[in-house]
Amino acid sequence: MARSKWNRKRKAEERAAKSGKDPRDKADVNAAGYKLNQDYSVAKTSNPRMEAYYSLLGLHSTRFDAGAAASFVPCLADEEKTAERDRFMSSLRAILPASFRIDRSLDASVQNKLIREMKEFVGKETEVEIELPTRSDAVGGKMNLMNTADAQSDTAPQHVGGDNPVVTTIKRKIAPAKPIPFISATESDGSTLTLGYQLSVDRRTLRRNPSLSPLHEWLKTHTDCGHITRQETVSMIPPVVLDVKPGMAVLDMCAAPGSKTCQLVEVVGGFANRDESDGNDGESGRRCLEPDGYVIANDADAKRAYMLVTQLRRLQSPSVFVTSCDGQYFPILDAKDDRGTEKEGMFHRVLCDVPCSGDGTVRKNPGIWRHWNQNGALALHPLQLSIALRGARVTRLNGYMVYSTCSMNPMENESVVAELLRITNGSLVLEDPRPRMEGLIARPGWSTWKVLREEKRGSAKAKKDHKKKNSPKMIAKRKEWAEKRKTGNATRLQKNDRIQTMQRKTTRR
């Protein structure tokens, strides 16, 4: 290993000597931090199979009507379906905005102070600079992006980089943050505190804009203190839907990396005053603080479980226990006498955030555009169903289990839930949490869907392999191998006949 490192270092020095540069010198960068004389382009954000699949399923057959009803209505004309499809694709191609939430376990005075400080950034418009990519074939090219941005911005696009323009920026007035109504907490007097906030820009824009530096410094300071947690908005939804209460026993079956687990611990891991006996006369001598509820965070991958421990360490809570076992074989620890009775089950709440194809995360994982196919969802369906069945088994009577994925595919969502309801035969009841989640806009689930699959021969690699296997050279070799096999089989049969004859003669003797 040391020799290979030395060879790489020597080769780098030789290349630097030929070019006349010092290998220790850093590459020249422009004001935006990009290397000069280098062409940058965004990843391709299109997949014809993915777009055709969801269009065939009827995803664009309904649209959201923001009128008085504020509900989803069917698209009657083809123009409405086309417009809905364009909105869907533009949302997938947009950069994922940053979001965070305030810790629920903080003292009320600290929470109120943080909320007052956030009011300075909520609703207050600030002029920021937004960078445009140098080339984007998937969304109409750079010229189309510049024309669209010019129509929405207050200033004309500007180039950064001197003679070699690399970055195109525009200036736009935006509100840095907005509250998330359903990420909230109820105080003792009945009032509601909003603890979740979503920014109007992504992390890179937040980090590079001088006008947003006060908000950026505020986020860094309170993140280091543990007062706030950086978490995506969609990641905050499952723990809220689970409706966890203090003092409950909660199981997170696929917990890593741990953002949802932290959100659960903040609710159930509160401390309650209990009497501690002195052990002599049985009288309560002093008061002690003990956790009233607990969370078991499980993950099948040991490396991800270690990452989960690192994430939970900042909470310093004794109410969480980390395990590493396969979720579909999670141990059943209740008493045998309780099985089949009302006492069956161990947990009041169970969260099944199962492994999935993840096509709903294309905004932060652009590689999904290139690798997406329907076979991935079909292959994960049995595993997801098995984990959900074990989660339902360990849930107590009248408890809640939330099944969630990062996918939009009905084979990983509605299909798993439908099969789960069929197998349990009335033991589980489907509940709609949208009425108790203010501000959440969610489409109703599908009741019918098409099951499609892809032929493996349709891929480029499969076509190349098929052409290689059926080349004239391989056909001639196959004929030669067939003739050799026939000759070898005939010789082997003759030897077997001789052995059988010898055995028969030996038996007669």
CA distance from start to end of the chain: 70
* Token pair 């003669």 in the structure block, residue: 505
Q: Is the peptide bond before 176 cis (omega within 30 degrees of 0)?
A: no
Answer positive or negative: Cα dihedral of 383, 387, 393, 399: negative
Q: Is residue 136 a contact partner of residue 145, using CB atoms and an 8 Å limit?
A: yes
> E-strand spans in 11-96?
62-65, 71-74
Amino acid identity for residue 237 in this structure: I
| DSSP output for 385-419 | HHHHHHHHHTEEEEEEEEEE-S---TTTTHHHHHH
Give burial (CB, 10 Å; 0-12/13-18/19+) of 259: middle
Q: How far apart are CA 308 and CA 257, in angstroms?
A: 5
Q: How far apart are CA 503 and CA 495, in angstroms?
A: 13
Q: Token digits for 92?
A: 């997938």
Residues 435/440/444/449 CA torsion (nearest 10 deg): -150
* Token pair 């986020």 in the structure block, residue: 219
> E-strand spans in 300-372?
320-323, 347-353
CA distances to 12, 206, 471, 502 from 98, in Å: 39, 9, 53, 83
Question: Of 254, 262, 352, 406, which one is the catalytic site residue?
Answer: 406
Q: Is 288 a catalytic residue?
A: no
| DSSP output for 227-273 | SEEE--HHHHHHHHHHT--TT-EEEETT-TT-HHHHHHHHHHT-EEE
Q: Token digits for 158?
A: 């500007």
Q: How far apart are CA 331 and CA 310, in angstroms?
A: 24
* Catalytic center residues: 406
